[in-house]
Amino acid sequence: MTALQMACGSCAMHRLCHPLTGAEGWLDAVQARRRLERGQKLFRAGAPQAAIFAVRAGTLKVSAPDGAGGHFIVRFLLPGDAAGLDGLAGGVHPTEAVALEDCQVCEIPRVRAEILAEGIPTVGAVLRSLIASQLAGSQVHSALLARHAAGERVARFLLDLSRRWDERGYSAASFRLPMLRSEIGEHLGLTMESVSRVLSDFQSRGWIRLTRGAIALLDLDQLRACAAIPLR
Amino acid sequence: MTALQMACGSCAMHRLCHPLTGAEGWLDAVQARRRLERGQKLFRAGAPQAAIFAVRAGTLKVSAPDGAGGHFIVRFLLPGDAAGLDGLAGGVHPTEAVALEDCQVCEIPRVRAEILAEGIPTVGAVLRSLIASQLAGSQVHSALLARHAAGERVARFLLDLSRRWDERGYSAASFRLPMLRSEIGEHLGLTMESVSRVLSDFQSRGWIRLTRGAIALLDLDQLRACAAIPLR
DNA sequence: CGAGAGGTTGAGGACCATCAACGCCAGTGG
DNA sequence: CCACTGGCGTTGATGGTCCTCAACCTCTCG
C-alpha cells in the first residue's frame, strides 16, 4: 500500500511548522515523524494531550466513544489535515484517532507549540484559526445531521471528500474510500445498511461508480442538487 | 424583565478581560457593553467578524442559516458564555447570534484581542482553550444528533442547561426556558411537536414540571437514566 | 371580545433501523 | 486445487420512530 504523501507546503500546519519563511534560529516545531499501521491509534480518548499532529500520508478516523462501546466518527483525516486540537481545552483528548491505512504523521509536542505561539504571533493566530475552522466545520456537520435526509448526508459526504482531494491537487472525481460502510454510517448518523442502499441507489442512477475500496463521481451536478435539498 | 447578571469573575472571558490580576497598564479588553432587545442580532451570519463577545446578562441563540430560510441552532448562550469565536477562522461569522430576551453583552474587538494575545501569553492560551472547548462541545452535540433518540436528546438538553446554571451558582433544578419549543427542536434536530410530546411525557411521568416559560427538574436520576449519561 | 402567537394533542404515513439471508472476496489450510 | 472461514457489502421484509398535517387549547394583548 503506497499512501499519498503531502508536500509540507499544502499542509494545514505549514505556517505553524515553518513560521519564519526563509529564516531559522528557532527550534523545529515537529519533533518526530511517526508511522502508523492500519488500525493503530495516534492518540486515545481520555489520554492526556501530549502533542498535536499533522497527517503527512494516509487517512485516519477521529472518533468519540459514547461510553457504551459505540463510537461517533467526528471526521476523517486526509493528508495535510491537523489532528488533536480539541484537546487544547482541557489538556485531555476527548476523541481518538485511528489509522484507516498505513500512515505517516508529524508530531508537534504541545509544549513546543505553546512556546512557538508565545514567541511568534503568527503561530498563535494560525493555531486559533485552525481550531476555529474545525469548530465551524463541526457546526456545519451538526446541521447536516439535524436537518437532512439520508441521501443528502451521503451526497454531501462524497462532495466534501471530493473537494478536499481537489484542494490537495488530486482528482475530485475519483478517489479511494478507505473507510468501511459502517464507519461512513457512524459519521453520518446512519446504519451501514442505509449507507449501502443510498450508494447503490446513486450508482443505479449513474451518478457514481463503486469499485472495491474506491469511488468515481460521474455526475457532480446531480450530487450537488441532491445535497442541497433542505429537509422539512 | 430583569435578566440575571453575571459577575465578571465567573465569565468564560474573565482571564481574557483581566489577564493581569491586580496589575494594570494594559488597555482594557472590553471596548463597549452593548444592550440588546429581544430579537435583536448581536452579529449576522456572513458579516465580517469585528469582535468577539461575552454575555453579561440574558440569553441568546446561535444559529446557522441553511440557505433556504431554515436555521440550525448551534447552541444557546447563558450569562458568562463566549460568542463569535467561530469567526476567528476566516474573519467572517459563519453563524449569527440573536437575543432571546433583553441582553447585555461585552464586546472585545478582534484586533484588540489579537494585540492582547500577542502581548500576554496567557491570553493566547485562554483564547485557544475557549475555542477548543466549543469545538469539543460541538462534537459531543453532533454525537447526540447522530446516535440518540428524541427522548435522550431532550433529556440531555435539559441536563445540560441544568449543569450550566448550576456552574453559575443558580438552581440546577429550576430555571427558565426562554426559547421556543420550535427553537429547542431546531437545536436537537426534532420538530416542535416532537419536543412538546417528549416534554409532556416527562411531565406525566413526574420527572419535570412545566410552567409558562420555565421548567423544574423533579427527578434528575430518571432524566440521567433516560439520557444514558454515566453518573459522575 | 377577537386575533394571533405559542403550545398541545391526535391520526396517518414516510423514512430509516432492525433483523435476516445471501454474495463476494481474500486469506488460510488441507 | 479446493473447501472453509470470516469480514465486508448488498438486498429484502418488517416494524418503530418521528414527521406531517390538522384541530384545538391557552395566554396575551389590542
CB A131 within 8 A of CB A94: no
Q: Is the dihedral of CA A137, A141, A142, A148 positive or negative?
A: positive
- Check pLDDT > 80 for residue B29: no
Q: What is the mean pLDDT of residues B30-44?
A: 91
List the B210 CA – C2 C1' distance (angstroms). Answer: 28
Nucleotides on chain C within 7 angstroms of protein Cβ? 6-11, 15-20, 25-26
Domain ranges in chain A are 8-145, 149-227
* Rg of chain A in Å (alpha carbons): 18
Q: Specify burial of residue B181 (Cβ count, 10 A radius: 0-12, 13-18, 19+).
A: middle
Q: What is the mean pLDDT of residues B192-203?
A: 98
Q: What CATH class is the domain A8-145?
A: mainly beta
Give the number of beta-carbon pairs within 8 Å between A and B.
141
A207-223 pLDDT tens trace:
999 999 999 999 999 99
Q: What is the pLDDT of residue B68?
A: 80
A113-148 pLDDT tens trace:
999 998 888 899 999 999 999 999 999 999 999 999
- Check pLDDT > 50 for residue B67: yes
Phi-psi map region of A213: left, alpha, beta (phi>0 left; psi -120 to 50 alpha): left
- Check pLDDT > 50 for residue B213: yes
B149: which chain A residues are within 8 Å (Cβ-Cβ)? Answer: none
Instruction: State the fold for domain B149-227.
Output: Arc Repressor Mutant, subunit A (1.10.10)
Q: What is the pLDDT of residue A159?
A: 98
B89: which chain A residues are within 8 Å (Cβ-Cβ)? Answer: 129-130, 132-133, 135-136
- Measure Cα distances from A218 to A160, A170, A206 in Å: 15, 16, 7
Scan residues 168-207 of chain B and list those with Cβ within 7 Å of strand C: 180-182, 192-193, 195-197, 199-200
The pLDDT mean for chain B works out to 91
Please name the residue of chain B whose CA is at the shortest distance from the CA of residue A184.
B146
Nearest-angstrom CA–CA distance, B232 and B230: 6
Could you tell me which residues are beta bridge partners of residue A32?
Answer: A107
Cα three-residue angle B70-B71-B75, rounded to 5 degrees: 170
Q: Which pLDDT band holds residue B17 (cuts at 50, 70, 90)?
A: confident
Q: Which pLDDT band holds residue B232 (cuts at 50, 70, 90)?
A: very low
A52-78 pLDDT tens trace:
999 999 999 999 998 888 899 999 999
- The CB density around residue A12, as the number of other CB atoms within 10 Å, is 20
